[in-house]
Amino acid sequence: MKKTVNIGLIGFGTIGSGVVETLNRNLPLIEEKVGVEVVLKKIVDLDIVTDRGVQVDPHILSTNVDDILEDPDMDIVIELIGGYQPALKFILKAMENGKHVVTANKALLAKHWEEILETAFKNGVRVCFEASVGGGIPLLEPLNDSLAANQIQSIYGIINGTANYILTKMSEEGREFEDVLNEAQTLGYAEQDPAFDVEGHDTAQKLIILTILGFGVFIKQEKFHVEGISLITPQDILFASEELGCVIKLLAISQLADGELEVRVHPTLVPKDHLLAAVKGVFNGVYIVGDVVGPVMMYGPGAGMLPTASAVVSDCMDIIGDPNKPLLYGPQNTNVESIRPIAEVVSRYYLRITAIDMPGVLHAISGILSDLNISIESVNQERRDEGQEVPIFMVTHHAKEQNMLLAVERIESLESVTKDTVFIRLL
């Protein structure tokens, strides 16, 4: 008689509906691969009346989460409600009751990683979260397992589809940030309050998870630099493309050098011949460099009902296949000796300075940069009538971030400079 594995689903929203659709569509294939009968025994949600557009037995619907958490025959609990509470309470209770957990909740993992992992260890259960970063891209398990023979040197990720869609549209159509953002909201790619995506916080939470798996270090978001894309203009994109041969991407960066780990999120100028430059629209891409394998690129849909559900169901299959697999996330003996503050990061920089076109302006700006040991690689200035506001585009050689921040502060204090200076790091 074939063994049965019972699954409980908490959260019947978009991704939860995708899980049901995936099981409806491919259950024979799934059962063939795992060698057991897979039963979606219970679905719990506050709303069990609204039609989700998928076929589901109404008898398995419930509004009582204890129908899953307290069921002694429930083997795997899928949490898809998002947020911190009550999701954390549900996950911890499930593990305390001996149930394996699958989640797509990157916010919860990024904030409560240590507590979740400790609870899983204590109760001898697994917690899987492939869907938390990169949607349907097979990313976290390959990073943790398939590349385990490598010391990871760097991870660069485009892991927020909303920000990437906006930058792609601005690049291809020359449109302003606000205009494309409004379109993204209309199309459902951006929330009505888009700050979480466009200011880099979603990317930062996912980077925390990538850093755990790549480098064996858990770093809370408040410990590293996070910067969004709202100040990027078509001028910046055009100059990057025509003068520097680059595109602008919101990049998650985690890289190790001489024992110091850099962790940061910010707009970055990426050369057009780099694989990440080809990641467009709502797609995601993660570029990983290992000391043995070299560079590896993972690309695909970073969100969506079925792509994300694909990752959720694959996690369930992984647990069924090896429920006793050790809880090893990232290298256990990390090479990370310290975290490098953003002020100590060294990079080339692009600057857009807005100033009144008058004699001595460039001389004053160049003097400030020189005084702080920042050498100029190139300068471009649009010609306009004297006394008018004009953008000045500069690219520097490698400089330390703390010197660049001080330079920008001094430049903006000049009487001739009329707007905040935009500066973007080059990859």
Name the residues annotated as catalytic.
206
Give the chain as a 3 state SS string: CCCEEEEEEECCCHHHHHHHHHHHHHHHHHHHHHCCEEEEEEEECCCCCCCCCCCCCHHHEECCCHHHHCCCCCCEEEECCCCCCCHHHHHHHHHHCCCEEEECCHHHHHHHHHHHHHHHHHHCCCEECHHHCCCCCCCHHHHHHHCCCCCEEEEEEECCHHHHHHHHHHHHHCCCHHHHHHHHHHHCCCCCCCHHHHCCHHHHHHHHHHHHHHHCCCCCHHHCEECCCCCCCHHHHHHHHHHHCEEEEEEEEEEEECCEEEEEEEEEEEECCCHHHHCCCCEEEEEEEECCCEEEEEEEECCCHHHHHHHHHHHHHHHHHCCCCCCCCCCCCCCCCEECCHHHCEECEEEEEEEECCCCHHHHHHHHHHHCCCCEEEEEECCCCCCCEEEEEEEECCEEHHHHHHHHHHHHCCCCECCCCEEEEEC
The residue count for the chain? 427
Q: Which residues of 168-177 are buried (b: 16+ CB within 10 A; e: fewer)?
A: bbbbeeebeb
Strand partners, 256: 261
d(CA 421, CA 338): 31
